[in-house]
A and B are shown apart, each in its own frame.
Chain A
Amino acid sequence: MTQPLFEMIDVDVAFHLKDGTYKALDGISFEIQQNEIVGIVGESGCGKSLTSLTMMNLLHRSSERTAGKMRLNGKVLNEQTDWHQIRGNEMAMIFQEPMTALNPLMTIGKQMTESLKQHTNLSKNERKEKAYEVMREVGLSRVETLYRSYPHELSGGMRQRVVIAMALINEPDLIIADEPTTALDVTIQAQILHVFKSVMKKRQSSLVFISHDLGVIKEICDRVIVMYAGRIIETGAVEDVFSHPKHPYTKGLLRAIPTYSKRGYPLYTIPGTVPPLQERKNGCLFVDRCAERMPQCIVDRPFITGELGHYASCHLIYEEDGVDADDSARKCLQNI
């Protein structure tokens, strides 16, 4: 196998809160290959944003990576890493809120070229030309005027295009987009998705696309990671996960996608909510909401098992396949 672009190995992230320290990410492992588009999906509060912030080492003060490793192009990423060199250069990030992600007092042009200023020796004019180019690439027109505008003069969709262009401008190897379409209305959402698709086709970079909406993930991703309560509970190629979901949570998310054929019926929602940090115990964290739960689900944490790149962690899977839990865990660890 070729060397993956990015690897996260058994990472824990904990919050230091007033009443104690709680794990918000628990044993997260995945890898991103060159040119791959990976989706991360899960309800709000599952730890998707936290995962992306961990990748960029942008965690909030009250949280901390307490275990695990990360590698980018084989280089270990840790506290000693020169993150300023990596951010905006090798990895770039797109945030959810186009309304607040831009500095209200700085022109679009200045903000766009900031990472070029940081990472290249281009002259002011070259930076400007480069900015025009990327802005056009993401479908913005009248770029000279936009360059001199302030964020408040732009619509939400335009701002999000600017934010995307800003991430692309330095041709990073990996782009992380945290719910880039969630805050936008449906038609704009579709346009932005289209921008992503066309841009990624042209460029030699990988994309982590975070969304709570499996429908969006299906449209643009090669592979999907399903997260629940700070853990990865299923991962696999998009076709596999969509056609043969293994985990009851994934099945629930799939049922909840609004589609044409379900028109007129009340939309399905998984009953219950994601358990808060303080209530995450041993065992399967989905147990309170799972229609298929068994006694052991409360006590034992299910291992992640599977084959051909499609893995899930649920006690049902051992039952069906008759796999020995320990054995499959070993197999799984080898895969990582």
Chain B
Amino acid sequence: MKRLTYKLLSSILTLFIVTLLIFFMFQVLPGNPAQIILGIDADEAQIKQLEQKLGLDEPLTTRYMQWVQGIFTGDLGESLKYQMPVIDVLKQRVPVTLALALSSLVLTALLAIPLGIFIAMKQDKWYAFVLNLFTQLGIAIPSFWFGFLLIYLFGVKLGWFPTFGYTAWSENPMQAIRSFILPSVAIAVSNIAVVVRYLRNTILDQTTMDYVRTAKSKGVKDHQVMSRHIVRNAFIPVLTIMGMIVADTIAGSIIIENVFALPGLGSLLIQSITSRDFPLIQALVSYIAIFVIVINIVIDLLYRIIDPRIKKKG
């Protein structure tokens, strides 16, 4: 239990620092925020009114406390652009981003795991080198550019998928899935490459372990040694990068939603930056950060399920 308690406490500390960072980052805005939001031709009264609406007349610490409270109660004020509660704007957009991130993660798992195992098993062959180069390429390619290529090839040339926009699930499920395929691939490419490389390395590390030799000495066949023994052990270190993969998927969808004009959080973020909708930006960024931190806690719990050694140590 000690480890879990530590993890939870340190996550809370992290969360506290995140909220401080985000809150105070928006306090250092050069000049008067109300003025900036409204533009130079706003008159005195308008500015006063907005200041009050944003609560800018209160002391800093009070505002911070209120804001943090708002994160948990969902009361984060009104979006300046949409003229409706921030939380409602977010609620509309969340499903698209979640679906996109999830399908991209599933794709990553489905492709990266077998590929990583395959490359590890073919270490001595020349094509291991070629595959290595391909994974390097996968990491190097800007995801949004890869998105363009996919649009050009499968959308423009072949016409298999819609090139932009999205159809709601409730309208037409088939069409909804089709509109997610290309963006998911674009986000997944670099993650697939990262996981393949990492898994290959951890598998190779495991192959030299004593327990592998023990398994072989029992007459277990090579592919079973791999599937029953090595892969599971190789997964434990892979878990450590899972948090990063999830975070990168979120970051990836912020850009990719803009490439494919999908109405998720990513396109919302860019729009609200352009329209200087600070309450919305602040809320959106905080929720993403909280999400990432929670994912990391979940991964820590997963460790305990996979690795029996941790339960004992507590």
Contact = CB atoms under 8 A, between A and B. Distances in A.
The short answer to whether A and B are in direct contact, CB under 8 Å, is yes
B210 A87 contact: no
Interface in A18-38: none
Interface stretch (B5-13, B91-99, B304-312): B304-312
Contact of A88 (B218, B306, B307): B218
B210 A105 contact: no
A221 B247 CA distance: 61
Contacts, number: 78
Interface residues of B, number: 22
Given A58-B213, A103-B229, A104-B233, A166 B308 contact: no
Given A86-B219, A87-B218, A103-B233, A95 B210 contact: yes
A115 B216 CA distance: 10
Given A104-B308, A152-B312, A92 B217 contact: yes
Nearest to A149: B308
Contacts of A153: 312
Interface residues of A, number: 30
Nearest to A115: B218
Interface in A113-159: 114-115, 118-119, 150, 152-153
A242 B213 CA distance: 34
- Decide if the interface of chain B is mainly helix, strand, loop or mixed: helix
A253 interface: no
Contact of A84 (B219, B306, B308): B219
B308 A105 contact: yes
B232 interface: yes
Contacts of A85: 219
Interface string A63-91: 00000000000000000000111111100
B128 interface: no
Interface centre among A95, A103, A119, by most chain B C-beta atoms within 10 angstroms, is A103
A93 interface: yes
B104 to A, nearest CB: 28
B211 A103 contact: yes
B219 A150 contact: no
Nearest to B235: A105
A101 interface: yes
Q: Give the interface centre of B215, B217, B229 by most chain A CB atoms within 10 Å.
A: B217
A85 B216 CA distance: 11
Nearest to A53: B213
11 contacts: A58-B213, A58-B217, A86-B219, A87-B218, A87-B219, A100-B209, A100-B211, A101-B213, A103-B233, A104-B308, A150-B308
Interface of A: 56, 58, 83-89, 92-93, 95, 97, 100-106, 111, 114-115, 118-119, 150, 152-153, 163, 166
